[in-house]
Amino acid sequence: MFFILISLASCSEDNSSSHTVEQNEANFNLSKNIERADWGNIQVGENLKFDIKIKNFDNAPDVVYVLKPITTDATKHQRNKIDYNFQEEIKIPFSSTFGVGKDSIPTKKTRDSIILKKANSSFFVLILKPGNFTQQYELHKMKLNKYLAGSTQELLFSAVQFDFYTWSEQTQNPTMFRASEHSRYYEFTVDDGDQTNDTYLTNSESKKNTYTALYNKKKYEGTILINEKMTFSNKVDTESGPQTVPKWILSELKVIQKRDHEPDNIIVYNNVSIQQK
């Protein structure tokens, strides 16, 4: 939203009015921070960094820029502190048994809004739920607590939630002549959101999702099924006790998305933790 001041006075007043219009802007650009190379493999629990650049930054001492998320649409995962945490990074002085030192510790704090004190800044988004996120942010330019101007920018990304786990069962009791028998399973589930538009890894008539898992130097292939049990490594049968888990990290899960009349889209998730169930 922009305020346009209309002057019906002299030419000199027109020039002054034009200058006021130019100053009363709050235009800005949002971008995904380049420190992250791949924005297609976001998972719940990750903290995403975004950069903001304010155009024609007004550094007058009585001018303040306030950035806040629009939190109105649950179907687009816009709810701060429910779908995500809107966060500011602040520095807290480091303290020890010897007192407060000169060093500081970067700490992220969840906010409703953030005051931006320079033209180039950053903020963070901690992902709390899976889904297709359509985030909108508005920047307000304030002077002496009065609104001068504002504008809105949008960010799009998708996040999923994986649960990789292993479990075992005894399939045969021991007898006098043979040991007990056991099986160990390696399974996982994936959730891509509970809203109608949350279809990032959901199969459809025009999109099929398959996967290749790399675990303990062995590959396993299958089809992605949302919120259903899938396998990332073959079952292992042993005697006298369940197999000892060789690794608690899945090296790679590669999702291959095949769409009609389009090149394959490859999504790679690396070094995912495995839990015991």
pLDDT (mean) for 134-150:
94
Number of domains in the chain: 2
Clarify whether residues 175 and 245 are in a common domain: yes
The pLDDT score that the predictor gives to residue 52 is 97
Choosing from 159, 193, 210, the residue where a domain stops is: 159
Amino acid residing at 98:
F
Which residue from 25, 59, 277 is spatially nearest to 141, judged by alpha carbons? 25
**CATH number of the domain where residue 204 is located:** 2.60.40
Clarify whether residues 153 and 173 are in a common domain: no
Q: Do 70 and 137 touch, CB atoms closer than 8 A?
A: yes
Model pLDDT for residues 217-246, shown as the tens digit of each residue? 999 999 999 999 999 999 999 999 999 999
Inform me whether the pLDDT recorded for 11 exceeds 70.
no
Sign, Cα dihedral of 95, 100, 103, 108: positive
Q: What tokens does 266 get?
A: 């490859």
The pLDDT score that the predictor gives to residue 5 is 36
Length of the chain: 277
Q: What tokens does 64 get?
A: 């303040």
Burial of residue 35 (number of CB atoms within 10 Å: 0-12, 13-18, 19+): exposed
Clarify whether residues 34 and 80 are in a common domain: yes
Inform me whether the pLDDT recorded for 18 exceeds 70.
no
Instruction: Grade residue 25 by pLDDT with cuts at 50, 70 and 90.
Output: confident
Q: Do 78 and 157 touch, CB atoms closer than 8 A?
A: no
Q: Do 136 and 152 touch, CB atoms closer than 8 A?
A: yes
**CATH number of the domain where residue 155 is located:** 2.60.40.2410
Model pLDDT for residues 144-197, shown as the tens digit of each residue? 989 999 999 999 999 999 999 999 999 999 998 999 999 999 999 999 999 999
The pLDDT score that the predictor gives to residue 147 is 92
Instruction: Grade residue 19 by pLDDT with cuts at 50, 70 and 90.
Output: very low
Query: Which residues constitute the domain of residue 203?
Result: 161-276
Clarify whether residues 142 and 42 are in a common domain: yes
Cβ neighbours around 108 below 10 Å, total: 14
Choosing from 159, 187, 205, the residue where a domain stops is: 159
> What pTM was computed for the model?
0.85
Residue 16 forms part of a structural domain: no
Share of the chain above pLDDT 90, in %: 83
